[in-house]
């Protein structure tokens, strides 16, 4: 978990730092560095309402005391927002991103516009995360056309455990995860596990996707949209279920309801072991 949090912190910091190439190498000032150091300590702890509220207060104070507000303050506070989002502290994360958006409006030029845009994007990510969390326990209706051109409906897998996997041939992490998905499929398929892949490749890549599936020995159903107006990120199922990053997985129970999301790596194996325990 700590490695995951550290990775999230690094990625968030890298994202905000990329706002201005001219300032990528700028050193953090003393207050911003102190804030980041404190945030790292918080990330290593268990967390609590009191701790998260303290982090939000620190963010507000750093923004308020910055004269003028600039990239340094944005970078570290944006990192705090990403950390809170990773802990599913949605209200606190929303507060931080709204504060960043407001403060960024005071920054002149292209840099200020970029800062506002990233804050808006982060707010949308919070909304998406909340919406996904609300999906737990609700039905997931999957239907469409396979890469081979056959019609498919989840009704075919009624009573099965189904892993729905949004992926693409251009997605490095998807390809890296493929051996793990295959291993779990081979281990649990006879016990009742099915997989439905949903390719987010462009419509013109249908033949390439079919070739990839054959070469990699992928033996489960894969859906594909050949409609140029509803392909890639605009695939109807991607928009319906708020998929804006891949790989994205949904684990469906025997009643057809979502029981887990974004289970990958060791988490996938552990969850399937739990699901199929005692021969269930």
What integer is the mean pLDDT of 5-23? 41
Kindly report, residue by residue over 61-111, the tens digit of the pLDDT.
999 998 889 888 998 899 999 999 888 899 999 999 999 999 999 999 999
pLDDT of 25 over the 60 cut: no
Q: What burial class does residue 169 get, using C-beta atoms within 10 Å of its C-beta: 0-12 exposed, 13-18 middle, 19+ buried? A: middle
Give the list of residues 6+ apart from residue 75 with CB closer than 8 angstroms, or none. Answer: 13, 16, 17, 28, 32
Which pLDDT score is estimated for 35?
Answer: 87
pLDDT of 4 over the 80 cut: no
Which secondary structure element, helix H or strand E, spans residue 160, and what is its range?
Answer: none
Residue pointed to by tokens 């999957």: 142
pLDDT of 22 over the 80 cut: no
Helix axes 49-65, 71-86, angle to 10 degrees: 160
Checking 187-191 for CB contacts under 8 A at 24+ apart, the result is 187/272, 188/161, 188/272, 188/276, 191/276, 191/279
pTM greater than the 0.75 cutoff? no
Residue pointed to by tokens 């620190």: 58
Domain ranges in the chain are 2-133, 143-279
More confident position, 24 or 102: 102
Q: What is the CATH number of domain 143-279?
A: 3.40.30.10
Mean pLDDT of all residues in the chain? Answer: 86
Using pLDDT thresholds of 50, 70 and 90, give the confidence band for residue 124.
confident
Which secondary structure element, helix H or strand E, spans residue 145, and what is its range?
Answer: strand 143-145
Q: Say if residues 56 and 96 touch (Cβ distance below 8 Å).
A: yes
Which pLDDT score is estimated for 13?
Answer: 42
Which among 38, 40, 42, 49 has a CA at the least distance from the CA of 9?
40
């Amino acid at each position: 978990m700590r490695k995951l949090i550290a990775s999230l912190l690094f990625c968030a910091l890298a994202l905000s730092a990329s706002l201005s190439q001219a300032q990528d190498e700028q050193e953090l000032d003393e207050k911003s560095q102190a804030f980041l150091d404190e945030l790292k300590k918080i990330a290593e702890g268990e967390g609590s309402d009191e701790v998260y509220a303290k982090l939000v207060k620190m963010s507000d104070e750093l923004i308020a005391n910055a004269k003028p507000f600039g990239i340094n303050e944005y970078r570290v506070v944006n990192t705090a927002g990403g950390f809170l989002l990773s802990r599913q502290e949605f209200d606190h994360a929303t507060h931080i991103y709204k504060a960043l958006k407001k403060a960024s409006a005071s920054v002149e030029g292209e840099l200020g516009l970029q800062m506002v845009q990233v804050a808006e994007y982060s707010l949308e990510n919070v909304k998406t995360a909340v919406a996904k969390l609300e999906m737990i326990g609700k039905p997931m209706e999957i239907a469409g056309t396979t890469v081979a051109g056959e019609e498919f409906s989840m009704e075919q897998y009624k009573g099965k455990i189904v892993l729905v996997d949004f992926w693409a041939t251009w997605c490095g992490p998807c390809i890296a995860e493929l051996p793990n998905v295959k291993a779990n499929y081979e281990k649990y398929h006879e016990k009742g596990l099915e997989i439905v892949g949903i390719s987010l490749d462009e419509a013109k890549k249908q033949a390439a996707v079919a070739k990839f599936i054959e070469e990699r020995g992928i033996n489960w159903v894969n859906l594909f949209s050949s409609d140029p107006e509803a392909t890639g990120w605009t695939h109807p199922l991607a928009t319906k279920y708020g998929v804006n990053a891949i790989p994205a997985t949904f684990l469906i129970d025997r009643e057809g309801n979502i029981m887990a999301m974004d289970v990958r790596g060791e988490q996938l194996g552990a969850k399937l072991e739990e699901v199929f325990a005692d021969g269930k």
